[in-house]
Amino acid sequence: MSQYDSALSEAKQQELLEKYDPEAGTRKLAGAAGWIVFGGLLAFSLFHLYTGIFGMLTAQLQRSIHLGFALALIFLLFPAQRKNRGKEYKVAWYDIILACISVLVGAYWPVMIDELVLRTGNITSFDFFVGLAAILLVLEATRRTVGLPITIIAIVFMGYAVFGPYMPSVIAHRGLELDRLVQTMFYTTEGILGTPIGVSSTFIFLFLLFGSFLIKTGVGEYFNDLSIAIAGRSVGGPAKVAVFSSALQGTISGSSVANVVTSGAFTIPMMKNLGYKKEFAGAVEASSSTGGQLMPPIMGAAAFLMVEFIGGISYWEIAKAAAIPAFLYFAGIWIMTHFEAKRIGLRGLTKEEMPNRREVLGKLYLLLPIIAIVLLLSSGMSVIRAALWSIVITVVVSAIKKNTRIGFKGIIDALVDGARSALGVAAACAAAGIIVGVVTKTGLGLKMANGLLDFAGGALLPTLFLTMIASLILGMGSPTTANYVITSTIAAPAIILLGVPDLSAHLFVFYFGIVADITPPVALAAFAAAAISGGEPFRTGVESTKLAISAFIIPYMFVLSPELLMIDTTWTYLIWVVFTALTGMIAISAGVIGFWMRKLNWIERIVSLGAGLCLIYPENISDIVGLVLFAFLLALQYLYKRDRIPKVQN
């Protein structure tokens, strides 16, 4: 596949990442500054490996040290202005000062812990200024790494905390004095040092390290080759390769944009070469890559937060519950691309264009670390231990062959790259902590949940619809982590009050926070794909939304039918629910694309969509109606197939 591997150079990939993924836009450092940052990143990873192996520090110490490392490195790596990113740009004098202050802020808890514990609830003037500095540093670091939206939201929430008495009566509260706000934000575990940064400093960091080590083995490129070997020869093969490859890439990347750029660098040119329109080629990659964050065993960073927010549930239970919805999501995109390929008559790859199957199968051992982490998590091992052992297994597996061997230099590079990838997540989690702290202190969560219920008239479907809209809006340009924190504290409680299981409600907002990456008008993953395909960005976003129509339906399915999450169900009923859902996906896909075994007229398209919705709605009568309509349409396809299929392009 060499003709496609070089379709997009590494420099171009990096350029696209920096343009559409704020977390990727670092300055290039050389000389002493470069070595200092390199040493800081390495120390950051070694600190987390040490605490992971020998036991975590107390919450305040673990989180404040993690925060100090992240803030200092962000100010050294991320310039204040985006125009200076990706360039050899010296660290500005004010960034050096901000980095030094960050170190002092991060060290304040470890140095002063005895005194801070003794005067719990009371802070001195010096404590106040340290806490205020922490808040301002977090806001600026968040702006640099993940953008303005979440920064503005955090500022608005703090404004709400201070000016509570002047708010409308529905959301009014007594208000917090500035010193009380600072005390909550930095001297309790309800603000910046709250649950989000706690998860970032434990689970998330170690799994990002695991992903970094996996990348060093070349498993990312192997996913592409394996996907081609499996799906390349089928009708419209390159599009199906993109779906399969992106699902696998999701196990090592928590970013939709990163998935688009890495796998799309060769799948999009392949699709274009075989006749797919630019917008459709970009949309296939964008929708598939976005779904990578929904793919167990390693989902987006917000899934680790879910463990803490729900309580009494393990990460493995969340990953297991997300398995069937993820399967349905990718099955929906696969079916849509299949029907589109048949509609316009696209061929698969020729034998000459396929990679050597024997060589591909000879590298199956690279999947062992992913299989290992599934087994470790399912065995009941803690998430931290599972991540540590998976890193060890990755290094051992890489040594099987010389061309995949990591080696000492590779290990050091993996530690540095893993730490670098954690910076944006740490900043987003710290900002999310500010939001959670305000919600907790003011009782805003319950007020918003009750307000949402009143507005929806206490009905489930309107409440779900309003929650979906809120999640999509908050997710436009914001990291999934922050989006989930806001919606899980404000919107999810409203769904739970209507009797929906906690896991269903939290996964509902989690899904739509992720789908925002391909939902216009701000669809970063779709825009990145359009930059590769040369298509029009907004149209690519619209096509992405159409292809991922299943993602807008599946969350409603598992709220109305929690059996899809394997909650309180039997295997026989679970098989039935999955069968009807998958059949419904086929019908909806045919209706949207307008093609099945032949072109559908407008009446058939409407009937097909209706049959699909009936099958997806979890109720016996609707299932029967849907199956009857499905069987009727299937019979029509066979009886009146005619020769309407376009000739296959060469």
pLDDT at residue 25 tops 70: no
The tokens describing 342, both together, are 């048949």
Check if the beta carbon of residue 76 is closer than 8 Å to that of residue 36. Answer: yes
Residues 6+ apart with CB under 8 A from 441: 161, 176, 184, 190
Task: Average the pLDDT over 445-449 and give the result.
Answer: 84
Chain center to CA of 51: 26
HEC sequence for 552-601: HHHHHHHHHCHHHHCCCCCHHHHHHHHHHHHHHHHHHHHHHHCECCCECC
State CA 425 to chain mean position distance: 11
Whether residue 353 lies inside any domain: the answer is no
Token pair in block for residue 587: 């019908």
pLDDT band at residue 341 using 50, 70 and 90 as cut-offs: confident
How far is CA 404 from its chain centroid?
27
The pLDDT score that the predictor gives to residue 643 is: 44
Look at residue 527 and tell me if it is in a domain: no
Q: In degrees, to the nearest 5, what angle opens at C-alpha 303 toward C-alphas 498 and 473?
A: 65
Cite the DSSP H helix spans in 443-547: 444-455, 460-475, 480-490, 492-497, 502-515, 524-533, 537-547
Give the 3-state secondary structure of residue 28: strand
> Residue 186 above 90 pLDDT?
yes
Q: Say whether the peptide bond before residue 369 is cis (omega within 30 degrees of 0).
A: no
Length of the chain: 650
Q: What is the pTM of this model?
A: 0.85
Q: What is the pLDDT of residue 20?
A: 63
Q: Total structural domains in the chain? A: 1
pLDDT band for position 1 (cuts 50, 70, 90)? very low
- Name which of 1-10, 158-167, 452-461 the model is least confident about: 1-10
Buried b (16+ CB within 10 A) or exposed e, 356-369: eeeebeebeebbbb
Instruction: Find out whether 189 and 60 touch, Cβ atoms under 8 Å.
Output: yes
The neighbour count for residue 635, using CB atoms within 10 Å, is 10
The answer to whether 592 touches 546, Cβ cutoff 8 Å, is: yes
**DSSP characters over 618-640:** --HHHHHHHHHHHHHHHHHHHHT
* Mean of per-residue pLDDT scores for the chain: 85
Please, what is the Cα angle at 187 between 181 and 193, to 5 degrees?
100
Q: Is the per-residue pLDDT at 207 higher than 50?
A: yes
Residue 152 counted as domain residue: yes
Place of tokens 């500010």: 434
How far lies 555's CA from each of 100, 558, 613, in Å?
A: 45, 5, 14
- Classify residue 190: in a domain, yes or no: yes
Residue 90 lies in a domain: yes
The phi and psi torsions of 599 (rounded to 5 degrees) equal -70, 140
Residue 88 in domain: yes
Which pLDDT score is estimated for 8? 59
Give Cβ neighbours of residue 20 (< 8 Å, ≥ 6 apart): 257, 524, 525, 527, 528, 531
Cα distance between residue 346 and residue 332, in whole Å: 19
> What is the pLDDT averaged over residues 135-160?
92
- Could you list the residue range(s) of the whole structural domain that residue 66 is in? 7-197
Do 216 and 259 meet the contact criterion of CB atoms below 8 Å apart?
A: no
Domain contains 21: yes
Bond into 646 cis (ω within 30): no
DSSP line for 283-341: HHHHHHHHHGGG-SSS--HHHHHHHHHH-S--HHHHHHHHHHHHHHHHHHHHHHHHHHH
Q: Write out pLDDT tens, residues 375-392.
A: 998 888 888 999 999 999
How far are the Cα atoms of 244, 531, 604 from residue 274, in angstroms, in the given order? 18, 19, 29
Q: Using an 8 Å Cβ cutoff, are 430 and 154 in contact? A: no
What is the model's pLDDT at position 412? 96
Q: At what angle do helices 407-442 and 59-77 cross, to 10 degrees?
A: 110
Tell me what the mean pLDDT of segment 43-47 comes to. 97
9 vs 282, which has greater pLDDT? 282
* Residue 82 within any structural domain of the chain: yes
